[in-house]
Amino acid sequence: MIQEIQNDEASTFSAPTQSRMRINDHFQVIEVSDDILQLTGWTSRDLTGHLIQELIHPSDKAQMQVLLADKPSGALDGASATARLQHAIHGWTLVRFEMSSGLDTDPEGKVLLLSQTRDMPKAASPPIPTEPADLTSLKSLLEHQGLCIIFDSDLNFVWANADMHQTFETLQESAEPFSEAQLFDRYDFRAGSKRLGSPPLLIDPTTGRWQGTVSVSLSGKTQHFQLQRKTWLSHGAEIDYVVLLLQPIEVAAEQGSSETETSFTAIRLIAHEFGNILSVIGGHASLLSAKPNHLNHHSIEQLDQYTQQAIVLLESLSLLGHLDDHQINVFSPIQHIKELEPILQLATRKRLSFESHDHISGFECQGVAAHFDLALIQSAQACQVLLAESGRMHIKVATGDGLLEIELVLTEIDAQKVAGKPLDTANHRITEQSVREHFESLSTLADAYHSDLRFKLEGQTLTLALSLPGQQLPNKALAQPDVPVRVIKQALLIEDDLGVSDLVSLFLGSLGLDVTSCASEQDVAALTNYDFDIIVSDVMLTGSKTGPDLVRDIRRDNPGIACLFISGYKHGALSQSDLEHPKTDFLAKPFSKQDFTNRVEALMAASDPN
């Protein structure tokens, strides 16, 4: 956030008498002298391409408009204005803008002379405004209406009531005015799965109203609100107001565990375990490198063990990718249990033991393997809820009469926790309904194979059992899998500035994109394919080809790829034909994350056939 400062002796820095800035007829900076760095903290390349109004404090734009307005050439001589200019380090700095005396003979645009000043212009200190009567009455009406915030017709913040300030705790910490879009961005407003980077579309344009459920990130937690957004029409006044009313709501948890929730839970467990393993490997490798002469063969053996754990977790993770596969295939239940064992161990806090005979490892079933895997994972999660701290879960597998017998044995359970209903532990009884409710996925699996989910309670030991019909099919013919739809989108980033590349990669990653970064035309040429959903490219590169050159080459075979060009200026390598491509946009540097996100999401939405 840019903080306004006073240019006293402590904050004054050395600056040249005057710096030169050339602007075109659209008030866009097209040339700046190199000594501008001392005055503003920005280099000439940073400023080129920006509108002069973008660099000026909002309160000073009116007087700059007067200075920049078209006038006869003789009337420009000596015209000046003093305004606050964004400084890269110090925040706002007072600068005197003066029109050139006409010595510059270049017919393109106008020349401004910039110099530092300490005198705050009178125009920059407007009188304290009188609050409009409509706003006063609106505030009194909404002061106690739950969570309320008001914006003016330009969607700039005007007022928020006490409850809003208290719930959205950083509102009062903001020293600068903010817009509605910035509020949505700061608190990660989402309507469904879509992020609200801009005001929501109005359902009823005649009344200017929008209403819906939104989720908001507050203090690191997701909270849900019923949001009403409407335009408050003034009566005879010059300004209308946009009012946001938020009503906290409770989102009821869905009964049972869905396929997606189970998959995400398992992935989170694996990611956490991966973090632990990689931390051990990385930390130990650092210790070994710090003592190269140490007898470290035992340490290397231990590192190898951790590496093997990571490989096993990867195998389990690959199996999770098939949880949405509903094709009927032939599969080995024993093999699936073995491959899922790391996930099952994590789900039960490593209190699982597995027992089977080697001679039945080739036993195969016909059905939907994903249903079997899902039932195992969800059952392990359900068992974790029931087990006491010292309790354990055993999976026993045996064969008989062409059936695979699977038993889940839970020792030291809390019998009061099965489906939230008490069990008759004195008589060792348990109801079928409570078992089916708590182990719904296992019951569903049994039903699919026309089997019964059998159960028995003895003291603190609960045994669940079911039978799966099997068949040996050595020459099985599997159905051809469908071509998978790529859910994780791919982005190509072409940027030779390492700092900018790292930052943009983070921005793209936060949007769920897998980023391939290239710093030169050689890197781009070395790619094995150009199957990307979007390209983000700098305009000027250190090489014989520019960013637009490389994009044109890629688009010869892939004309539908969207592209966002980023640069400090539009002029030069970026032609009008580049910008006229229907899936092309341009964003000037420096830019905010929100601006970048909006451009990328718009391009991706335009390219999505769905």
One domain for residues 100 and 186: no
As a whole number, mean pLDDT of residues 221-238 equals 76
CB 375 within 8 A of CB 442: yes
Nearest to 82 by CA among 24, 124, 26: 124
The answer to whether residues 137 and 58 belong to one domain is no
- The residue among 223, 249, 275 that closes a domain is 249
pLDDT score, position 600: 93
* Position 4 in a domain: no
Is the domain of 343 the same as that of 461?
Answer: yes
Best-predicted range by mean pLDDT (189-198, 359-368, 416-425): 359-368
Q: How far apart are CA 540 and CA 551, in angstroms?
A: 12
> What is the mean predicted confidence (pLDDT) over 271-294?
63
Half-sphere exposure of 244 (CA within 13 A, CB side): 31
Whether 216 is covered by a domain: the verdict is yes
Instruction: Tell me, yes or no, whether 475 lies in a domain.
Output: no
Whether 95 and 147 map to the same domain: the answer is no
pLDDT above 70 coverage of the chain, percent: 69
pTM confidence score: 0.36
Instruction: Determine the average pLDDT of the residues in 170-198.
Output: 75
Tell me which of 92, 124, 156 is where a domain ends: 124
Asked if residue 12 belongs to a domain, the reply is no
Does 15 have pLDDT greater than 50? no
Highest mean pLDDT among 29-33, 85-89, 144-148: 29-33
pLDDT of residue 550: 93
Q: Which domain holds residue 305?
A: 259-469
CATH number for position 378: 3.30.565.10
Are residues 349 and 396 located together in one domain of the fold? yes
**Which of 46-50, 171-175, 563-567 ranks highest by mean pLDDT?**
563-567
Is pLDDT at 95 greater than 70 in this prediction?
Answer: yes
Listed residues 96, 124, 152: the one ending a domain: 124
What interhelical angle do 369-386 and 440-448 show, nearest 10? 150
How many folded domains does the chain comprise?
4
Confidence of residue 252 (pLDDT cuts 50, 70, 90): very low
CATH number at residue 193: 3.30.450.20
Mean pLDDT of 339-353: 83
Residue 215: C-alpha distances to residues 27, 194, 220, 465 (Å)? 40, 10, 12, 42
**Domain co-membership, 235 together with 276:** no
Q: Are residues 274 and 335 in the same domain?
A: yes
Counted residue by residue, the chain has a size of 610
Residue 588 lies in a domain: yes
pLDDT for position 419: 47
Least confident window among 8-12, 37-41, 55-59: 8-12
The pLDDT confidence band at residue 16, using thresholds 50, 70 and 90, is: very low
pLDDT, residue 475, reads: 33
93 inside domain: yes
Asked whether the beta carbons of 421 and 434 are under 8 A apart, the reply is yes
- Do 272 and 352 belong to one domain? yes
Give the closest residue to 503 by CA, choosing from 593, 603, 565, 600: 593
Q: Is residue 324 a contact partner of residue 259, using CB atoms and an 8 Å limit? A: yes
Does the residue 9 lie in any domain?
no
Question: What are the tens digits of pLDDT across the range 480-509?
Answer: 444 455 667 899 999 988 878 888 988 898
The tens digit of pLDDT for each residue in 397-446 reads: 988 777 888 999 989 887 666 545 555 545 555 677 777 777 888 888 88
User: Is 385 in the same domain as 281?
Assistant: yes
Q: What's the confidence (pLDDT) of residue 534? A: 95
Q: Are residues 60 and 190 in the same domain?
A: no
**HEC-encoded secondary structure of 418-468:** HHHCCCECCCCECCHHHHHHHCHHHHHHHHHCCCCCEEEEECCEEEEEEEE
Same domain, 221 and 97: no
Q: Is residue 483 part of a domain?
A: no
DSSP 3-state of 69: coil
- What is residue 181's predicted lDDT score, i.e. its pLDDT? 85
User: What's the pLDDT score for residue 554?
Assistant: 92
pLDDT-based confidence at 175, cuts 50/70/90? low
Give tens-digit pLDDT for 327-344.
Answer: 777 888 888 888 888 888
Q: Specify the higher pLDDT residue, 70 or 557.
A: 557
Q: Are residues 81 and 196 part of one domain?
A: no
For residue range 566-597, list pLDDT tens digits in order: 987 655 567 777 778 889 998 888 888 888 99
